[in-house]
Amino acid sequence: MSAPSSEAAAVPVDCSPSSALYGDIVEFLYREAELLDAYRFEDWLALFADDIRYVMPVRTTQFRAKGSGFHDVAFLDENLVSLRTRVERLQTEFAWAETPPSRTRHYVSNILAEPGATPNEFAVRSNFLITRTRADHGHQMFTGWREDVLRRDDAGGLKIAQRRILVDETVITGTNLSILF
Amino acid sequence: MASTPGGPQTEESPNGFSLLSNGETLETIVRPKEGLISRRIFADPEVYQMEIERIFGRGWFFLGHESEIPNPGDLVSRFCGVDPAILIRDDDGVVRAFLNSCRHRGMRVCRTDRENVRFLRCPYHGWSYRNNGDLVTVGAENHYGAGELEKDRLGLIPVAGLGIYRGLIFATWDEHAPALEEWLGDMRWYLDIIFGRTGEIEIVGVPQIWEVDCAWKFATDNFTDNFHVFWTHQSLVPLGLLPNFPDFAAHGHMVTAGNGHILHFVQGAPNDETFMGLGLEKPLWQHFPKHLNSGQLDIAMRHAYSAGTVWPNFHWLQLTSTGDTASKPVGILNLRLELPISPTRTRMYSWFAIDKAASAAYRKASYENYVRTFGPGGIFDQDDMENWEDCTAAVKGPAAKRYTLHHKMGINRKQASDWPGPGVSYPDSYGEMTQRAWYDQWLRTMTTPLNGTNKQVPA
């Protein structure tokens, strides 16, 4: 097979669960969750590549034969500037939906990684369960899965280059999406 | 000093129709003309149950937009009032709405959000309906004896009335309701500006839907409240997304258009084309003169923002804003609806709409701006929900229910003399004239005896 002059074709990336790379990816996602639950939003923002597209599409109920029900219209459709705007907003004292702040717990599981479109990119799928309590309210829950593209940057670390947040709910029952996913 | 309803509480309706279980009447605790609205009416189960019959059992409700069901067989699951409804275009292209409930055992016949169908088959016993509502076949049909199954009288239950204005589809369960155009009255002149300025608008995709632990009226009240913007959305001021002076959204007019329909038009920064023509891209302005008369054109060109409520629970927001610190403000058109779920829980619908004649670049910018600012994830909208929830939490108790809220701003303000549109208009869009007019319609509706809409329909 005459492959293009790409190292990926020459050396397939191993990101199977027994690989060192998989361990890096899992740790990256766990540390990301920790930053969010600890309100370290500036540090969280630093995990994204400059060209990040971060989308949570709206879902509808439909028969299985018609697909999973996700639409182009989204609940969240962000780039790096708009994510930074969100984080800056949360750091004002007037972002009432998070002032005083919600208490979140980001659980990430079922992580699987595959080689991505370039040798430096990995397609990573994970399930999420996020609980939120706020003031004296009980738990709200957000569940679904994420399809991320993680990219190895020049310094050898990982960045999130794409994130699709695929929610289970068609009607978001948790008041609003003022927390980060 | 806190204000209380006060006054003699003897104005019981002749038939006791507005009498509450504490011995007071709706008229004594809701005094819109005085700007006194009791906290009792927001989260109290007794009042809520009255609202479900008196407001949501009759009157006109927004179900969707024609662009959501363009083809024969297209269907969306919605609610008419609080009853689940199917909004569908039949094989002949006629837009119809039905109760989403089988004639046999009441089962929901459409159980998905959108479809394209020729027939709807109930999963319970296989009763099947054509997309015009006609009952076609039923399961085990050969076991019905002569006269036991009157198929021609067992089509899906249709709404009592359906009307379309500027593509907006409304329906009612009340066979005595006035025609939609009559009901909308002067509001049509303003709907023409928002939904007809460039010919046609269209809904993009599907609505965002979410639920908030709030009494529905707190959300409804908010949509023509302009002076909350600076305070509630103050987080956006240090980011430069809102001007840094509290009066910035006061330069405009508010209008009460009759039947509880209310609206605002507000100007943006002066001498800045960004904030002219409702924030629409400039090439769209050339369509205005074809579709608007001179008064409507004047209003469309001079303003950047508009908010309106078609009584009771349907709204538009026409805004010129940006959802991130790098983009220029751009026009967005957002349609909204509140569906009561319980006295303290409300389902919100939010649709993004765009002028059909818009360029691809403007569509993209308008959409991105919409999704970043409005809906459950919007950096404007999410703080509103915080208000609605905490207002609700604070008015539930027996002590709170004895006190009124305060809706008096502008109660002595003189009407505008230079507004080119119909209805009663006021200068300065900070004021509570619109809410007072809305609660006035609420009181009128809640104290008008039912005309059979709570009675059994003959079999």
pLDDT (average), residues B83-98: 98
Q: Is the pLDDT of residue B321 over 60?
A: yes
CA B135, CA B118: separation in Å to the nearest integer? 12
**N-term to C-term CA, chain B:** 56
Closest of B416, B445, B382 to residue B251, by C-alpha:
B416
Q: Taking 70 as the threshold, does the pLDDT of residue B3 lie above it?
A: no
* Residue B451 predicted with pLDDT over 90: no
Measured between CB atoms, which of B213, B324, B385 is closest to A97? B385
Q: What is the side-by-side strand order in the sheet with B95-99? A: B95-99, B83-89, B74-80, B114-116
Inform me whether the pLDDT recorded for B4 exceeds 90.
no
Percent of chain B with pLDDT over 70: 97
Measure the CA–CA gap between B360 and B341, rounded to whole angstroms.
Answer: 38
pLDDT at B15 (0 to 100): 56
Higher pLDDT, B16 or B65: B65
Q: Which chain A residues are within 8 Å of B375, Cβ to Cβ?
A: 75
Please enumerate in sequence order all residues whose Cβ is within 8 A of that of B49, keeping only pairs 6 or more positions apart, or say none: none
Q: Where are the domains of chain B?
A: 66-173, 186-445
pLDDT at position B406 over 60: yes
**Preceding amide of B312 cis, omega within 30:** yes
Q: Do B235 and A89 touch (CB under 8 A)?
A: yes
What is the rounded CA–CA span in Å between residue A126 and residue A123? 10
Predicted local distance difference test score (pLDDT) of residue A134: 94
Average pLDDT score over chain B? 95
The pLDDT tens digits for A12-22 are 789 999 999 99
pLDDT at residue number B1: 35
Q: Using an 8 Å CB-CB cutoff, list chain B residues near A84.
A: 324-325
- Tell me the CATH class for A12-167: alpha beta
Q: With an 8 Å Cβ cutoff, are B239 and A85 in contact?
A: yes
DSSP category for residue A172: B
| pLDDT tens digits, one per residue of B20-32 | 999 999 999 999 9
Q: Please say if the pLDDT value at position B2 is more than 90.
A: no
CB contact under 8 A, B235 and A95: yes
Over range B300-319, report the average pLDDT. 97
B330-342 and B30-31 strand pairing: unpaired
CATH 3.90.380.10 assigned to B186-445: yes
The residue-averaged pLDDT of B45-49 equals 97
Q: What is the model's pLDDT at position B14?
A: 52
Q: Is the dihedral of CA A94, A98, A100, A101 positive or negative?
A: negative
pLDDT in the model for residue A5: 47
Listed range (B11-15, B71-75, B222-226) with the worst mean pLDDT: B11-15
CATH 3.40.50.1460 fits B66-173, yes or no: no
Q: Do A176 and B376 touch (CB under 8 A)?
A: yes
Do A76 and B371 make contact, defined as CB atoms within 8 angstroms? yes
Express each pLDDT in B213-262 by its tens digit. Answer: 999 999 999 999 999 998 999 999 999 999 888 888 899 999 999 999 99
| Cα within 13 Å of Cα(B19), Cβ side | 10
According to DSSP, the β-strands at A158-167 and A48-59 are: parallel
Q: Given A84, A96, A174, which is nearest B232 (Cβ)?
A: A96
The confidence band for B188, taking pLDDT boundaries of 50, 70 and 90, is very high
Helix (H) or strand (E) holding B265: strand B262-266
Burial of B360 by CB count in 10 Å (0-12 exposed, 13-18 middle, 19+ buried)? Answer: exposed
For residue A112, pLDDT over 50 is answered with: yes
Digit-coded pLDDT (tens) for B123-138: 999 999 999 999 999 9
Return the pLDDT at B269.
87
Beta carbons of B86 and B75 less than 8 angstroms apart: yes
Q: How many CB atoms lie within 10 A of CB B186?
A: 17
Query: What is the per-residue pLDDT for B248?
Result: 86
| Peptide bond between residue B238 and the one before it cis (omega within 30 degrees of 0) | no
